[in-house]
C-alpha cells in the first residue's frame, strides 16, 4: 500500500494527508507491432509515474499519483482493430472534471504524465488554466526526457527498440518473443517540409507501416530497458520534487 498511489491508498490515510502535487498518467490502447501488448503505453506510464513518485516521496515530496487514463488520441489509426480512440474534446472534458475536484480540495499543482505520442495537452492546458486561475497545470512527455541514442542502437517512434526494451524490463511476461515482431519499417512523407517537421499533418498509420510498429525492435534487451528506465525515473522524480516544493506564484528567475 503506497500512500502516494491513490488507487492503493485509503481514506484513513488520505483524509488528513497534505498533497502538493497530483499526477495523472495518461496512456493509450493500441496495437504495438505484433509483439507488445495493447496497453504498452499505459503500463509504461504508470510504472514510470509510480516509481518516480516513490523516489520523490522518499525525499519528502507530497505527491499523489491518480489512476491512469488507459485510452488516448488514436484518430489516425481507426482502421487498426480495437485501437480505442479518445477525442481531444473528450480529454478536455475528463481533465476539466479532475481539475475541478483537485481545485475543491486545494491541491493546486497538477501534472499530466503523458505516455503516448498522439496525446497533446498544450492547448487544453491553456484553456483549463484560464478556467481555473488558482491551478498550476503542466504536462510532461517521459519519452522526451532522455537521448535515445545514449541507450539504443535503432531509433523509432512506436513499438521500437526503446519501448520493447522498457517493456522487457517492466512487464516481460506480456512481451512475445522478438522472433514474432515485424521489422517496424515505415514510410516517410514525400513532401520535405513534413519530413523536416516544421509542417505537420497527422500520419495515416496503416499507410506508413505494415506491422503497426515504427522502428526496428530486434536489438531490444531488458538490460537496455532497465538502464533507460532508471534514467527516466531519475529525471521525472526530480521534476516531481521541484514541483512539490515550488511556489506557484514565484516560478521565474
Ligand atoms: Zn507506445
137: which residues sit within 8 A by CB, 6+ positions away?
99, 110, 111, 112, 125, 128, 129
Rounded CA separation 220/4 (Å): 32
pLDDT tens-digit series, residues 97-147: 999 999 999 999 999 999 999 999 999 999 999 999 999 999 999 999 999
Rounded CA separation 99/79 (Å): 33
What pTM does this model have?
0.96
Closest CA to 125 of 110, 137, 107: 137
Q: What distance in angstroms lies between residue 81's CA and the mean position of ligand 1's atoms? A: 16
What average pLDDT score do residues 163-171 get? 98
Assigned C-alpha cell, 124:
487544453
Q: What distance in angstroms lies between residue 35's CA and the mean position of ligand 1's atoms? A: 12
Identify the pLDDT of residue 57. Answer: 98
**What percent of the chain stands above pLDDT 90?**
100
Q: What distance in angstroms lies between residue 43's CA and the mean position of ligand 1's atoms? A: 10
108: which residues sit within 8 A by CB, 6+ positions away?
102, 134, 135, 136, 248
Identify the pLDDT of residue 98. Answer: 98
pLDDT confidence bin for 162, thresholds 50/70/90: very high
Q: What distance in angstroms lies between residue 159's CA and the mean position of ligand 1's atoms? A: 6
pLDDT tens-digit series, residues 69-109: 999 999 999 999 999 999 999 999 999 999 999 999 999 99
For each of the domains in the chain, give its residue range(s) and CATH number, in order of start. 11-245 (3.40.50.10310)
Residue with cell 525515473: 233
Amino acid at each position: 500500500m503506497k500512500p502516494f498511489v491513490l488507487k492503493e491508498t485509503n481514506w484513513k490515510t488520505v483524509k488528513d494527508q497534505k498533497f502538493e502535487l497530483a499526477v495523472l498518467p495518461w496512456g493509450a490502447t493500441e496495437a504495438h507491432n505484433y509483439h507488445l501488448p495493447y496497453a504498452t503505453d499505459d503500463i509504461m506510464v504508470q510504472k514510470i509515474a509510480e516509481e518516480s513518485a516513490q523516489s520523490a516521496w522518499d525525499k519528502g515530496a507530497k505527491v499523489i499519483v491518480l489512476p491512469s487514463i488507459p485510452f488516448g488520441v488514436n484518430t489516425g489509426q481507426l482502421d487498426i482493430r480495437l485501437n480505442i480512440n479518445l477525442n481531444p474534446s473528450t480529454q478536455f472534458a475528463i481533465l476539466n472534471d479532475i481539475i475541478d475536484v483537485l481545485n475543491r480540495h486545494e491541491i493546486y499543482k497538477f501534472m499530466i504524465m503523458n505516455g503516448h505520442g498522439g496525446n497533446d495537452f498544450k492547448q487544453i492546458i491553456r484553456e483549463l488554466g484560464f478556467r481555473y486561475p488558482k491551478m498550476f497545470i503542466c504536462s510532461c512527455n517521459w519519452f522526451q526526457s532522455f537521448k535515445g541514442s545514449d541507450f539504443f542502437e535503432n531509433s523509432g517512434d512506436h513499438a521500437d527498440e526503446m519501448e520493447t526494451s522498457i517493456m522487457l524490463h517492466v512487464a516481460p511476461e506480456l512481451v512475445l518473443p522478438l522472433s514474432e515482431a515485424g521489422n517496424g519499417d515505415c514510410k516517410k512523407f514525400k513532401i520535405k517540409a513534413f519530413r523536416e517537421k516544421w509542417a505537420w499533418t497527422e500520419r495515416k498509420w496503416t499507410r506508413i507501416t505494415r506491422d503497426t510498429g515504427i522502428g526496428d525492435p530486434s536489438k531490444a534487451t531488458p538490460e537496455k530497458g532497465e538502464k533507460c528506465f532508471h534514467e527516466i525515473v531519475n529525471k521525472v522524480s526530480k521534476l516531481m520534487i521541484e514541483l512539490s516544493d515550488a511556489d506557484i506564484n514565484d516560478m521565474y528567475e
